[in-house]
């Protein structure tokens, strides 16, 4: 394959485990939680699925290699701080402990990562293990293996967890597949039918539990009746497929009709015989070129029957195009691990983002107290982190998983002295990686093009305001991140934090400038007073010298940008500004992005670090669509799924219509785009296996994301398969996407859910890469609970309203909250901080609860007794400039723990349970048995479907709806009662102050007597409070 170019015959590299890793090595294991080191033997299984270690008691622990995010040694490895532990793990050897340590970092998301450390005797051993483990973790097959390989992985896990004598405990097998008593019986029955022991305390010899034995057990557990039905139709009732019948099946059902017949010839008899030889394990039928049901099932689950064309997973895009021709995986406020105002910040999340393929990260620099620049979210309660440590982390991780360029988006609030220090750190730490001058082939001259990713391999590009010698002051017509109205700010203090109780608007602020000739970085802030201190400072000469291909400027107009024709200038927009441009000037926005970079970031009102749908702005050709990586909501999951392709390098080539200047693309087009053949897609979800070990109903949703005309959400959903997480069969009519206007930009999302709505797992698949026919798809374990708020349909009258309606299908449930009133800016400070970055279903309830609380605050005066209205009015007056505590959203746990709400929820649960039992009795028992969780068998592009009437869920929906109203009413009443209690407490507190003051004037008693009387007054107040509040009705 040519450097950065295309390859017609890309194959995924098979996983090969070095012999040294299979045989193992002696290490001392330690982690942050243990107080001492533990001698272990560390190994990797021959298939490369797990790293596992055995201690001196022959106890085995294992770690899924697919969950490993990084492996480090040397200066970036973790070493114990306790001298006693250091002496233990050194094993008596001399030299640097860091060089002899292997640190393994693993976790399910970017924020919640865990470290385990292994120390050996020689640095050569540590280096070898570090390199090989990292290569295994990032092999493309780890997450894209065929279904049969995931079964093989499950079998490997069971074998590795054998007891000290090498026996496999039956109860361990049962526990993997089921928690419920009834499901456990199904697992035990499948073991019995496979000739294996079933007793709770029974064991199985490893020699009697080879993979073939496990596969037999798998078939008995899942039965795969839906595959048997397909097989019977193909064979006309015979017990096997002939080679000729297999050829017909490959060419008529499984073949992609879009393939070129010369480059991809039709299957022939020899191809059929080769497949039969590979997958038919019955020698009698194999010799006669016959494929039995067992062989047919193995083929459907094999690497020869993928759901996505393998070349899409490897590097498949042309990497010789200008930088503006790619979608670039981008992060917003990268340092944050949670809430925008009260969350935490981390150096580690920079590593995690870059390792995951992110190619644009954000750094907010502020003056440090010790003349060392820091990274912090200014004017919030987010703690600061060392700028130098962040730059070191970037240097270490930037090109470990992708060698394509990384853009550092600087937001610089430092004084000239600390700016110069940042510039020096960049030069010293990045070294040759830093692109500090334009390439000879791509000079900074108007009319040129940005260099391609292939010429910028292993290069770090700085985005920062650039200092120019010629300033031309000019008013900006359309502002960028910097231009939203700000409340008056006091001067920055230290790291930019304000005194407690004072909060200002936050967001990503590039502070970009605009002029007719040269960009001015200084005059735009002149005379701004104290409020302008929140803006970025003047660009120093040292840091300005590092800026070349990504020079931020204020956006004036598309006409101005076209006239200047400076490919090296870019603008940033918050999601609201970008949406306005997209609705008003969609074609011009697409054309602008053909030759200049644009960055879109979340609105400043997204305090909870939620995300907008990136597809909205990919449709306009925006390259740097920056998301909050710490929040794995639907938008971020779509981003991760989209950038899973092209070797996860962080760059995806835009469709041709978004690159060629002689072509025109309207992202709101509803008819066929000129020159592009519209596609159609039919998806039938047949079954699922091992979706969950709970005994609950499951269903599957199929959505499409792309142009507004192509986007289909919340329309296609299977029926709920009741009480079956092991092997549900859906047998639905096909979900038909009749017309896909721009297939190159369309992504298919398949998501499995429990009946409660909890996400089990999902997969994002490119429409142009889908393989037709019967396929299995592995959906990775759920990343987080989805938080999708419901939005009302939008009616349109004008063309702008129509476009807004078209965008609504993409943005439903992801809109940014409305900006709070200035007096409420301090309100979010007191909310509980969520640092795990995973919004749950509570996000929906909290949004609605906020609305209830806002309504209650309006009517609260009327709910107070007459003699309390005056104090209420005084309280309202005092709230001018202070935080209104009644406007705070309580945490979900607090709200749901109130007695009234708990009673209503318990009553709902009882009635739902009774309703389900009644429905179960009325239905015939479900007799079909099937299996395995994180995989879905689907038929793409047509085919016969198994229709099924929808289960009677109307009664349940009506019951839920009725009780939802009751619960919300209880919440409202709870809030009103709390407000009244608060007012009573305030009155009592004021009364107590008056009593104490009167006591001090009227008595000359000693201190002990005064304290006694104070306690007596306090006791009387408590009795009064109990009388007033304790007996409040809860109905």
- The shares of helix, strand and coil residues in the chain, as percent rounded to the nearest 5, are 40, 15, 45
Residue 372 assigned to a binding site: no
**Strand 935-940, strand 773-778: pairing:** antiparallel
| Rg (the chain; Cα; Å) | 32
Say whether 332 is catalytic. Answer: yes
Runs of H (alpha helix) within 812-891:
842-863, 869-878
Q: Across the strands, what pairs with 105? A: 70, 115
Which residue bears the tokens 């007891």?
163
What contacts 363, CB < 8 A, 6 or more positions away? 334, 335, 375, 387, 390, 408, 409, 410, 411
Query: Binding site annotation covers 440?
Result: no
**Element housing 782 (H / E):** none
Q: How far apart are CA 890 and CA 905, in angstroms?
A: 18
234 near 252, Cβ under 8 Å?
A: no
CA 139 to chain centre: 21
Does the annotation list 362 as a binding residue? yes
| Angle of CA points 63, 64, 66, to nearest 5° | 140
Residue 1026 is labelled as binding a ligand = no
Q: Which residue's entry shows tokens 């209690």?
A: 981
Cβ pair 168, 203 in contact under 8 A = yes
Rounded to the nearest 10 degrees, what angle do helices 1007-1025 and 954-1002 cross at? 150
The partner residues of 53 in beta bridges, in order of sequence, read 42, 61
Backbone dihedral region for residue 15 (phi beyond 0: left; psi -120 to 50: alpha; all else: beta): beta
Question: Do the Cβ atoms of 908 and 959 come closer than 8 Å?
Answer: yes
CB atoms within 10 A of CB 919: 15
Angle between helices 416-430 and 387-397 (to 10 degrees): 20
Confirm whether 753 is a catalytic residue: no
State the catalytic residue, choosing from 332, 554, 753, 762: 332
Angstrom distance (rounded) from CA 425 to CA 489: 31
Buried b (16+ CB within 10 A) or exposed e, 171-190: eebbeebbeeeebbebbbeb
Instruction: Give CA separation, 455 vs 441, 550, 652, 653, 690, in Å.
Output: 10, 15, 16, 15, 46
Q: Within a 10 A sphere around the Cβ of 286, how many other Cβ atoms?
A: 18
C-alpha closest to that of 216 among 241, 198, 190: 190
How many other CB atoms sit within 10 Å of the CB of residue 479?
Answer: 17
Q: Within 10 A of 909 (CB to CB), how many other CB atoms are there?
A: 11
Give the active site residue among 339, 377, 554, 974.
377
Known binding residues for Ca(2+) are 333, 362, 364, 411
Catalytic residues: 332, 377
């Amino acid at each position: 394959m040519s450097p950065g170019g295309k390859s017609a015959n890309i194959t995924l590299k098979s996983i090969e485990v070095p012999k040294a890793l299979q045989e193992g090595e002696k290490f001392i294991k330690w982690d942050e939680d243990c107080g001492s080191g533990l001698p272990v033997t560390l190994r990797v299984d021959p298939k490369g699925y797990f790293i596992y270690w055995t201690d001196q008691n022959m106890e085995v622990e294992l770690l899924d290699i697919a969950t490993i995010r990084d492996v480090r040694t040397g200066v970036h490895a973790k070493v114990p701080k306790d001298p006693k532990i250091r002496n233990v793990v050194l094993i008596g050897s001399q030299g640097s402990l860091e060089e002899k340590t292997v640190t393994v970092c693993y976790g399910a998301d970017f924020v919640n990562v865990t470290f385990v450390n292994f120390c050996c005797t020689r640095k050569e051993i540590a280096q070898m293990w570090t390199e090989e483990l990292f290569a295994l973790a990032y092999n493309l097959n780890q997450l894209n293996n065929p279904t049969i390989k995931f079964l093989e992985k499950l079998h490997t896990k069971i074998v590795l967890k054998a007891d000290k004598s090498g026996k496999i405990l039956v109860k361990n097998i049962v526990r993997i597949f089921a928690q419920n008593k009834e499901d456990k019986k199904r697992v035990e029955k499948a073991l019995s039918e496979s000739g294996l022991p079933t007793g709770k305390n029974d064991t199985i010899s490893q020699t009697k539990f080879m993979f073939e034995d496990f596969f037999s057990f798998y078939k008995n557990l899942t039965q795969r009746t839906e595959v048997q039905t397909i097989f019977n139709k193909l064979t006309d009732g015979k017990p096997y497929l002939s080679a000729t019948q297999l050829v017909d099946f490959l060419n008529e059902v499984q073949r992609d009709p879009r393939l070129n017949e010369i480059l991809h010839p039709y299957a022939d008899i020899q191809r059929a015989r080769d497949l039969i030889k590979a997958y038919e394990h019955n020698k009698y039928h194999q010799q006669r070129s016959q494929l039995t049901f067992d062989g047919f099932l193995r083929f459907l689950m094999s690497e020869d029957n993928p759901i996505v064309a393998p070349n899409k997973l490897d590097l498949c895009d042309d990497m010789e195009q200008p930088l503006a021709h790619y979608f670039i995986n981008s992060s917003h406020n990268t340092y944050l691990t949670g809430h925008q105002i009260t969350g935490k910040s981390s150096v580690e999340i920079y590593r995690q983002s870059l390792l995951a393929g992110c190619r644009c990260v954000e750094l907010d620099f502020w003056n440090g107290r010790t003349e060392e620049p820091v990274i912090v979210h200014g004017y919030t309660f987010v703690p600061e982190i060392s700028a130098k440590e962040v730059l070191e982390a970037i240097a270490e991780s930037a090109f470990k998983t992708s060698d394509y360029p990384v853009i550092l988006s600087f937001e610089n609030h430092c004084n000239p002295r600390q700016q110069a220090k940042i510039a020096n750190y960049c030069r010293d730490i990045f070294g040759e990686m830093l692109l500090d001058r334009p390439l000879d082939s791509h000079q900074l001259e108007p009319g040129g093009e940005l260099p391609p990713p292939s010429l910028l391999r292993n290069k770090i590009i700085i985005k920062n305001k650039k200092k120019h010698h010629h300033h031309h002051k000019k008013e900006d017509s359309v502002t960028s991140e910097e231009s939203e109205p700000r409340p008056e700010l006091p001067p920055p203090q230290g790291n930019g934090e304000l005194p407690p109780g004072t909060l200002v608007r936050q967001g990503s602020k590039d502070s970009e400038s605009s002029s007719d000739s040269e960009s001015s970085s200084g005059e735009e802030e002149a005379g701004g007073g104290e409020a302008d201190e929140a803006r970025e400072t003047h660009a120093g000469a040292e840091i300005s010298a590092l800026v070349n291909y990504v020079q931020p400027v204020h956006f004036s107009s598309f006409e101005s940008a076209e006239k200047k024709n400076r490919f090296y200038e870019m603008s940033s927009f918050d999601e609201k500004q970008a949406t306005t441009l997209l609705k008003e000037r969609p074609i011009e926005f697409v054309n602008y992005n053909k030759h200049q970079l644009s960055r879109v970031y979340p609105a400043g009102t997204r305090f909870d670090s939620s995300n907008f749908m990136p597809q909205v702005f990919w449709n306009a050709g925006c390259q740097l669509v920056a998301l909050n990586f710490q929040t794995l909501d639907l938008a971020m999951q779509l981003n991760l799924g989209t950038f899973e392709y092209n070797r996860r390098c962080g760059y995806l080539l835009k469709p041709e219509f978004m690159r060629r200047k002689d072509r025109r693309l309207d992202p709101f087009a509803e008819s066929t785009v000129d020159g592009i053949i519209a596609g159609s897609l039919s998806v039938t979800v047949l079954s699922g296996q091992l979706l969950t070990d709970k005994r609950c109903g499951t269903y599957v949703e199929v959505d499409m994301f792309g142009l507004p005309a192509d986007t289909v959400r919340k329309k296609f959903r299977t029926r709920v398969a009741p009480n079956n997480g092991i092997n549900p069969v859906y047998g639905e009519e096909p979900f038909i996407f009749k017309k896909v206007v721009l297939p190159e930009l369309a992504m298919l999302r398949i998501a499995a859910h429990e009946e409660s709505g909890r996400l089990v797992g999902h997969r994002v698949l490119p429409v142009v890469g889908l393989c037709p026919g019967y396929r299995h798809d592995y959906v990775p374990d759920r990343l987080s609970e989805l938080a999708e708020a419901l939005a009302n349909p939008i009616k349109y009258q004008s063309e702008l309203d129509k476009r807004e309606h078209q965008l609504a299908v993409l943005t439903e449930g992801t809109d940014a909250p409305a900006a709070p009133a200035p007096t409420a800016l301090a309100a979010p400070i007191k909310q509980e901080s969520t640092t795990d970055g995973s919004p749950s279903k509570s996000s929906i309830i909290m949004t609605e609860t906020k609305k209830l609380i806002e309504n209650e605050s309006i009517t609260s005066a009327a709910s107070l007794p007459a003699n309390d209205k005056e104090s209420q009015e005084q309280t309202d007056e005092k709230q001018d400039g202070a935080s209104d505590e009644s406007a705070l959203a309580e945490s979900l746990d607090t709200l749901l723990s109130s007695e009234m709400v708990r009673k209503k929820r318990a009553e709902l649960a009882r009635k739902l349970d009774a309703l389900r039992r009644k429905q179960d009795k009325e239905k015939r028992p479900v007799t079909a048995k099937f299996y395995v969780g994180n995989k879905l068998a689907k038929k793409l592009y047509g085919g016969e479907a198994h229709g099924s009437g929808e289960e009677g869920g109307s009664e349940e929906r009506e019951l839920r709806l009725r009780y939802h109203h009751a619960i919300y009413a209880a919440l409202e009443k709870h809030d009103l009662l709390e407000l009244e209690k608060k007012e009573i407490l305030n009155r009592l507190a004021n009364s107590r102050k008056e009593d104490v003051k009167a006591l001090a004037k009227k008595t000359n008693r000693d201190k002990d007597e005064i304290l006694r009387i104070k306690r007596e007054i306090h006791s009387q107040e408590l009795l009064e409070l109990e009388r007033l509040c304790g007996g409040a009705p809860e109905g």
